[in-house]
Amino acid sequence: MKLSARSLVASIAALAALALSTGARAEGNLTVYCSVQEEWCQLMVNEFQKATGITVAMTRKSSGETFAQVKAEAANPKGDIWWGGTGDPHLQAAEEGLTEEYDSPKLAELHDWAVKQHETAKKRTVGIYLGALGYGYNTELLEQKKLEAPKCWADLIKPEFKGEVQVANPNSSGTAYTFIATLVQIMGEEEAFKYLKALAENINQYTKSGAAPAQAAARGETLIGIAFQHDVVTPSITSNAPIKNVSPCEGTGFEIGSMSIIKGAPNMENAKKWYDWALTPDAQKLGAQANSYQNPSNKAAPIPDQAPKMADIKLIDYDFAKFGSSAERKRLLSRWDKEIGAK
């Protein structure tokens, strides 16, 4: 009994030893939630530390995951700033009051679409880059099948592409939701759903993640993958994949990669420093170094050669206020579920 008592106490002491560490919160720190790809995040963090001397702790998660985390942590925020990732979760966070209003002195240097994002969110978020929707096709497969290269959204419903098109499931992917919203804005809702129904005949798989169709097309798992154009471009540069980017002739929608300060951020001052710095041309040109080819929001930031050219892309006047709202999203998604649905 003596022995067991002692070892119990010992094991409790050992457990207690583990029980007692909480995150550091010294001065000169900043916690960044980063929702673009890791190389880009890392580069941003390193350059910011060099420029300001502030110690940055960075967590990389997809924008959906980050949104879920920010929401769960709302009572006791751990993060300071949420940088990157598609705009809808940022808008949603703004709608739910999870993020902080801020007017950066750099706002004047930004493209209109970035400022508009700031207005839509009632100052709670701002655009940092733009990525246009499009699709990529596998050049080798196209040659094998001796088909004509597609150029428009309308080409994708041609019977020769039966079972050859891939797109994400809008229930899980923001990219696919952007696709539906884009079609609705180009064609009108009834026509758009007629198109989606015809397209469903050609779809081989509704993937979970938005970038997956581009990767599948790069690997030849599907002929055509609908995705954001920068996601289509990346594999062709990083691994010479036989994939060609198409910016549809009818025009196309886009995402605005955004940045928000988390409400109740423990390091509010440093969060604002990051915010201002991230809008400078110096910070915005880092994306291309990390093989990310979105278009930066600062007018003075250089656009990399490999990036999809803005001049070649016909952007529609995407209504983020309407199509970013929870109500419209729910309505379109449930209509999609009812009339089309993932087979």
Question: Using CB under 8 A, which residues numbered 29 to 48 contact another protein?
Answer: 31-32, 37-38, 42
Say whether residue 146 binds another protein (CB under 8 A). no
* Nearest by Cα to 106 from 127, 86, 84, 120: 127
Residue whose CB is less far from another protein, 315 or 333: 333
Angle at 176 between CA 308 and CA 88, to 5 degrees: 85
CB of 133 to another protein, least distance (A): 15
Residue whose CB is less far from another protein, 30 or 110: 30
CB of 330 to another protein, least distance (A): 8
Interface with another protein (CB under 8 A), residue from 60, 106, 111, 124: 60
Question: Using CB under 8 A, which residues numbered 170 to 199 contact another protein?
Answer: 170-174, 176-177
Which amino acid makes up residue 181?
A
* Nearest by Cα to 163 from 134, 198, 226, 205: 205
Say whether residue 18 binds another protein (CB under 8 A). yes
Alpha carbon of residue 225 to chain centroid: 17
Interface with another protein (CB under 8 A), residue from 218, 259, 271, 288: 218
Residue whose CB is less far from another protein, 62 or 280: 62
Residue whose CB is less far from another protein, 215 or 298: 215
CB of 103 to another protein, least distance (A): 27
Over the window 273 to 312, marking each residue x when it contacts another protein by CB under 8 A and - when it does not, the resulting string is ----------------------------------------
Interface with another protein (CB under 8 A), residue from 99, 182, 222, 258: 222
CB of 299 to another protein, least distance (A): 27
Long-range CB contact pairs, 239-243, < 8 A, 24+: 242/138, 242/139, 242/140, 242/218, 243/136, 243/137, 243/138, 243/139, 243/214, 243/217, 243/218
CB of 221 to another protein, least distance (A): 5
Question: Using CB under 8 A, which residues numbered 196 to 215 contact another protein?
Answer: 204-206, 208-209, 211, 214-215
Alpha carbon dihedral 132, 183, 247, 223, in 10-degree steps, equals: 110
Say whether residue 263 binds another protein (CB under 8 A). no
Residue whose CB is less far from another protein, 15 or 311: 15
Residue whose CB is less far from another protein, 60 or 111: 60
